[in-house]
Structure 1
Amino acid sequence: MSVRIVVADDQELVRAGFSMILDAQPDIEVVAEAADGAQAVAAVRAHQPDLLLLDIRMPNMDGIEAAAVVSAESDCRVLMLTTFDLDDYVYDALRAGASGFLLKDVRRDDLVHAVRVVAAGESLLAPSITTKLIAEFTSRRPAGPKAPPPERFDVLTARERETLRMIARGLSNAEIAQAMVVSEHTVKTHVSNLLTKLGLRDRVQAVIAAYESGLTVPGQAP
């Protein structure tokens, strides 16, 4: 079964290049292209793809707004494109529902791999990279008293909350398993349970939730 994709970028050559690379894969089908955010949203509504490859900066409706609309309306995964590795909009894009981001100068093989990973339900970013990214953007926000974790975290068991803290600090499943002295399978179960209970799509959203709630803070040691 093919992964169905919409490619959205206002630069025609970039859009066409990505589409050509992806459509050449036996397990990937580009069902539509879009030149701006509004067209991207319309294409997702019309074709119900598995994944939207979406540029952050586009006319009419930018990628962040488009990602928020698509994430709210459908189960379509969103993979963002950006020119810079610490684009000022990356944090907002992840918060809007994106499952990760790619640089526009990404290599062919890395592009294909990223699409497959995100389409399979995983977040693109490795835990350590995610932590650095979120810490960078949360540290720019005005300092204030640490807010208590919201009531939504009350649904988590002590082990699930501990797992969430470790995810937010950048630990992999293997590292969490070692720290908690449990199997990786048990950690995967904790991760799956906490994502379900909190209504989160993936580890990226879990990291954001942990930072924004004050459950963990940038620079906090594992």
Structure 2
Amino acid sequence: MHYDLRPDRVLVVDDEELVRTALQQVLDLDDQVTVVGTCDGPDALDTVRALAPDLVLLDIDMPSAHGLDVLRTLKALPTPPAVAMLTALDTADHLDRALRGGASGFLLKTMEPRLFAVAVRLLVAGGVMCTPPGSAAVLAGYAAKALLPDPPVIPGHLDTLTEREREVLALIAAGLSNADIAAHLGMGVTTVKTHIGALKRKLAVDSRVGLASVVHRSAAP
């Protein structure tokens, strides 16, 4: 039987050269990990295509290119690498959006250096690793949402609504709060409120109850 014993191939994407260098030095201490390259956010897609890493360690907050936008681009590739977001802050909102965007991990830059190689091996093997203290609450939220009933289907004859408005309306009818809708759809609460305002105007109702009623009345036989 043949076993692939090659080291796990990692690309580090961060706008700060000092961070890229430090991570490379830390990971190079482990003979089961190879840093195949480092780059800034705008170069991530081309670099992934050229180097085909197993895992991308991706800074979530880069002035040159937001990490969540880069994540979305990478996960759209035909054969995407695993991606773990790097952050200096414990931001639950970013964690939730990153996981919904397809990230396999969310790692604090300040965690103990030896843990980075452990994280790489786990993530390349298909595992999930989240180190921010707030991650437990977010992951617990996923478990709770899994118990929610499926949102009702928005009838096709409400053709004045955009696709995003239909999604928001379905989640309102399922009883989700604005914060839950924002987390579910990967948008800000303010954006959710904007969509709700548009829904009220288009459907001629003045409350969330009215919006939910539209869905349930339309779905009734």
Same fold (TM over 0.5): yes
Q: CA deviation at 1:114?
A: 0.8
Q: Establish whether residue 62 from structure 1 lines up as the match of residue 66 from structure 2.
A: yes
Q: Distance in 2 between matches of 1:122 and 1:11?
A: 27
Change (3 A) 1:10 1:138: farther
Q: Which residue of 2 aligns with 1:44?
A: 48
Q: Which amino acid aligns with 2:129?
A: L
Instruction: Give the Cα–Cα distance (whole angstroms) in 2 for the partners of residues 138 and 12 of structure 1.
Output: 38
Query: Match for 1:103: what amino acid?
Result: L
1:148 alignment partner in structure 2 = 149
Structure-2 separation of matches of 1:83 and 1:137: 23
User: Could you tell me which of 32, 35, 41 is aligned with 2:37?
Assistant: 32
> In 2 relative to 1, CA 59–86 (structure 1 residues): closer, same or farther, beyond 3 Å?
closer
TM-score, normalised to structure 2's length? 0.58
Of 17, 22, 46 in structure 2, the residue corresponding to residue 12 of structure 1 is 17
Q: Give the superposition deviation at 1:129.
A: 6.9
Confirm or deny: 8 A CA contact 1:86 1:133 kept in the other structure.
no
Matches within 5 A, 1:173-212: 212=184
Structure 1 alignment gaps of length 5 or more: 140-145, 152-210, 214-222
Residue aligned with 1:5, SS: strand
Q: Secondary structure at the match of 1:89?
A: helix
Q: Offset of 1:65 from its aligned partner? A: 0.9
Which amino acid is 1:94 matched to? Answer: L
Please give the secondary structure, in 1, of the residue aligned with 2:70.
Answer: helix
AA matched with 1:83: A
| Partner deviation per Cα, 1:7-52 (whole Å, 9 max, x = no partner) | 011111111000111123211111110122x212221111111000
- Which whole-Å CA distance do the structure 1 matches of 2:97 and 2:134 have between them? 16
Equivalent of residue 78 in structure 1, options 76, 83, 99 = 83
Would you say the 8 A contact 2:92–2:134 is kept in 1?
Answer: no
Cα offset for 1:148? Answer: 3.3
Larger Rg: 2
Give the CA deviation at 1:86.
2.3
What's the counterpart of residue 104 of structure 2? 99
Deviation at 1:70, TM superposition (A): 1.0
Show the counterpart of 1:116: 121
Distance 1:40 1:32 in 2: 10
Unmatched segments (≥5 aa) in structure 2 = 1-5, 153-182, 186-221
CA–CA distance in structure 2, aligned partners of residues 46 and 150 of structure 1? 42
The question of whether the paired residues in 2 share the 8 Å contact of 1:67 and 1:78 is answered with yes
Counterpart contact for 1:65–1:96, Cα < 8 Å = no
Partner of 2:198: none
Conservation of the 8 A alpha-carbon contact between 1:101 and 1:124? yes
Q: Which residue of 1 aligns with 2:93?
A: 88
Figure out how many residues of one structure are paired with residues of the other and give that number: 147
Contact 1:5 1:51 in 2 (8 A): yes
Residue 100 of structure 1 deviates from its aligned partner by: 1.3
Of all paired residues, the percent bearing the same amino acid is: 36
**1:149 CA displacement:** 1.9
Cα distance between partner residues in 1 of 2:119 and 2:134: 15
